[in-house]
Amino acid sequence: MAEYDYDVLVIGAGPGGYVAAIRAAQLGLKTACAESGATLGGTCLNVGCIPSKALLNASHHYEAAHSGALAKHGIKVGQVELDLPAMLADKDGAVKGLTDGIAFLFKKNKVDWIKGLATFQDAHSVDVGGKTVTAKNIVIATGSSVTPLPGVEVDNAKGIVVDSTGALALEKVPGHMVVIGGGVIGLELGSVWRRLGAQVTVVEYLDQILPGMDGDVRKEAAKLFKKQGFDIKTGTKVTGVSVKGRKATVSVEPAKGGDASVIEADVVLVAIGRRPNTEGLGLDAIGLAVNARGQIETDHDFATKVPGVWAIGDVIPGPMLAHKAEDEGVAVAENIAGLTGIVNHDVIPSVVYTHPEIAGVGLTEEQAKERGPVKTGKFPMMANSRAKAIRDTEGFVKVIADAETDKVLGVWIIATPAGDMIAQAAQAMEFGASSEDIAYTCHAHPTHAEAFKEAAMAVRGKPIHM
Ligand code: FAD
Ligand code: NAI
């Protein structure tokens, strides 16, 4: 009889966990995945990436039709009506299609889905819903959940003070939505409800929105969001939220001190970040401590300090992004199988799926300058022929290169398809490209990607179209 029930047990079926499980099974390892949620796919598929992108797309179409913006293309639209229940149902359909798809992939790859909450008993055995499951290797992929704001009670069912999950299912377009936190969630979901008719105020503690992004991008993004109608209050802290009937009152004061004031709201979205899920996992039973940020530390192979126990995704340090979790899922399975699984954490793109999209990979100019002299090249979408042809010219491409070696250190893009454009930048950086390599790569015309080539030309001198 085998010593363990499984070669690999993955805890959590988000993008990190389900990918790790599938890859492990593909590599011939007997694999199971414990998931406490009713469906597979974790935060990303159920209440994150997928439903938010479905609503961003639908609300973009609605705004284009409703705002009269199509008229400039010679398209006259009659009366446009919002059918919010249908829009939400369509979003739910997209989620169901994808989560069912993971269940299908589990079956196809012979991954056992063990339903229930997993708690460690020792380094090779876990209690899942009252049943003990043993495995030679256990991968912790429990993800993250919303960081609470002390003194502010979220009640998604009531729909007044909500987190991102609640904001994906509001039954009515709020008159005024106050978003606490000018990060990715605040701007994406704020965009959805603004496009559908809400007035949106963003309250951000820091003096700029979008922490972690390049300085030029943060400044330009704030300008664009204000132009779209967002009221952005930076350098402002929320001291409390009270609810009376169907209205909320948000108490704010300047972050650096000063007079307090209040903002009335129909809906308050709390989006101040996410924290790793380790509570209830029984890490004490295996002697595994978390760091000061509540994360599980691993080595380069995603092994924790406890032999046989590995960790990936939002629960470990690094950006909390689905593709980072997925790549770590592949790598950890390969490492368990005795192969060499590597993730290059210096080249992880990030995208904000607003309109225009905002994307970056590698270092910001500020970070790059701390390491040594840099050259930068910037090309405005205003001078890109495709952007001009489709009358959508906001944004720019910025390339940051090492002043001595010309190696590309970072790329930042604001453009309608920035999320797709950044893949080329990531690939170039993964291959160690110089700005010259990009400038001399033939790009199809007319494409938005030509702006990347021209920004690379700008690093080395002059682009053609500017
Ligand atoms: P998760 O997806 O959080 O999955 C963890 C799973 O583990 C969950 O299903 C949970 O139920 C389960 N679990 C936890 N504890 C246990 C236990 N003890 N036993 C059994 N099961 C357990 N990222 C992007 O890259 N692009 C985006 O566009 C994007 N949009 C987002 C939009 C929103 C609104 C949110 C909230 C997040 C978004 N993210 C996006 C972030 C992305 O969802 C996460 O980075 C990603 O889901 C992390 O994957 P993971 O596998 O580490 O964890
Ligand atoms: P975030 O970290 O992006 O932004 C949170 C913002 O809240 C920051 O700007 C922070 O300064 C601010 N803040 C913190 N405390 C505050 C307070 N008390 N008052 C006012 N502002 C305060 O976190 P967010 O938006 O909640 O997203 C969580 C995670 O989900 C992110 O790590 C992100 O990577 C991931 N995500 C990714 C998406 C994507 O890739 N497109 C989309 C949505 C989420």
Pocket test for ligand 2, best of 43, 180, 272, 320 (most atoms within 8 A of CB): 272
Q: What is the mean pLDDT of residues 172-177?
A: 98
Task: Look up residue 320 and give its two tokens.
Answer: 């909390």
Pocket lining: 410 vs ligand 2, CB cutoff 6 Å:
no
Which atom belonging to ligand 1 lies closest to the Cα atom of 16? 51
Of the pLDDT bands very low, low, confident and very high (cuts 50, 70, 90), residue 461 is: confident
Structure pTM?
0.98
Q: Tell me how crowded residue 3 is: count the other CB atoms within 10 A of its CB.
A: 7
Percent of the chain with pLDDT over 70: 100
Among this protein's residues, is 445 annotated catalytic? yes
pLDDT computed for residue 19 by the predictor: 98
| Residue 57 three-state SS | helix
Distance CA 372, CA 98 (A): 45
Pocket lining: 95 vs ligand 2, CB cutoff 6 Å:
no
| Nearest ligand (C-alpha, residue 238) | 2
Which atom belonging to ligand 1 lies closest to the Cα atom of 53? 28
User: Among the options 73, 124, 443, 445, which is catalytic?
Assistant: 445
Pocket lining: 117 vs ligand 1, CB cutoff 6 Å:
yes
pLDDT computed for residue 460 by the predictor: 86
Pocket lining: 322 vs ligand 1, CB cutoff 6 Å:
yes
Pocket lining: 164 vs ligand 1, CB cutoff 6 Å:
yes
Question: Cβ distance 433 to 409 under 8 Å?
Answer: no
Is the per-residue pLDDT at 1 higher than 70? Answer: no
Of the candidates 353, 366, 367, which has an alpha carbon nearest to the alpha carbon of residue 414? 353
Considering only CA atoms, which residue is closest to atom 7 of ligand 1? 12
pLDDT tens column, 108-135: 999 999 999 999 999 999 999 999 999 9
Count Cβ atoms within 10 A of the Cβ of residue 193 and give its class: 0-12 exposed, 13-18 middle, 19 or more buried: buried
Rounded to two decimals, the ipTM of the complex is 0.99
Q: What is the mean pLDDT of residues 420-440?
A: 98
Q: How far is the CA of 83 from the centre of ligand 1 (A)?
A: 29
Considering only CA atoms, which residue is closest to atom 30 of ligand 1? 49
Pocket lining: 271 vs ligand 2, CB cutoff 6 Å:
yes
Q: How far is the CA of 8 from the centre of ligand 2 (A)?
A: 33
User: Which residue positions form the known binding site for FAD?
Assistant: 53, 142-144, 314, 320-323
Is the per-residue pLDDT at 105 higher than 70? Answer: yes
Count Cβ atoms within 10 A of the Cβ of residue 301 and give its class: 0-12 exposed, 13-18 middle, 19 or more buried: middle
Is the per-residue pLDDT at 2 higher than 90? Answer: no
Considering only CA atoms, which residue is closest to atom 46 of ligand 1? 322
Question: Nearest 5°: CA angle at 414, between 408 and 416?
Answer: 125
User: Which residue positions form the known binding site?
Assistant: 53, 142-144, 181-188, 204, 273, 314, 320-323
Q: What is the mean pLDDT of residues 436-457?
A: 98
Pocket lining: 272 vs ligand 2, CB cutoff 6 Å:
yes
Pocket lining: 238 vs ligand 2, CB cutoff 6 Å:
yes
Pocket test for ligand 2, best of 47, 189, 205, 225 (most atoms within 8 A of CB): 205
- The β-bridge partners of 144 are 276
Is the per-residue pLDDT at 176 higher than 70? Answer: yes
Question: Nearest 5°: CA angle at 346, between 371 and 43?
Answer: 135
Of the pLDDT bands very low, low, confident and very high (cuts 50, 70, 90), residue 204 is: very high
Question: Cβ distance 171 to 196 under 8 Å?
Answer: no
Q: What is the mean pLDDT of residues 417-429?
A: 98
Pocket lining: 321 vs ligand 2, CB cutoff 6 Å:
yes
Which atom belonging to ligand 1 lies closest to the Cα atom of 312? 52
Which atom belonging to ligand 1 lies closest to the Cα atom of 118? 19
User: Which residue positions form the known binding site for NAD(+)?
Assistant: 181-188, 204, 273
Of the candidates 411, 416, 444, which has an alpha carbon nearest to the alpha carbon of residue 428? 411
Q: What is the mean pLDDT of residues 252-276?
A: 97
Q: Which domains does the chain have, with CATH numbers?
A: 6-146+275-336 (3.50.50.60), 161-272 (3.50.50.60), 350-459 (3.30.390.30)
Is the per-residue pLDDT at 252 higher than 80? Answer: yes
Pocket lining: 185 vs ligand 1, CB cutoff 6 Å:
yes
Which atom belonging to ligand 2 lies closest to the Cα atom of 238? 19
Helix%, strand%, coil% for the chain, nearest 5? 35, 25, 40
Q: For the chain, give the longest Cα–Cα distance.
A: 73
Mean pLDDT in the chain? Answer: 97
Pocket test for ligand 2, best of 149, 180, 185 (most atoms within 8 A of CB): 185
Q: What is the mean pLDDT of residues 202-212?
A: 97
Question: Cβ distance 32 to 9 under 8 Å?
Answer: yes
Q: How far is the CA of 68 from the centre of ligand 1 (A)?
A: 37
| Nearest ligand (C-alpha, residue 314) | 1
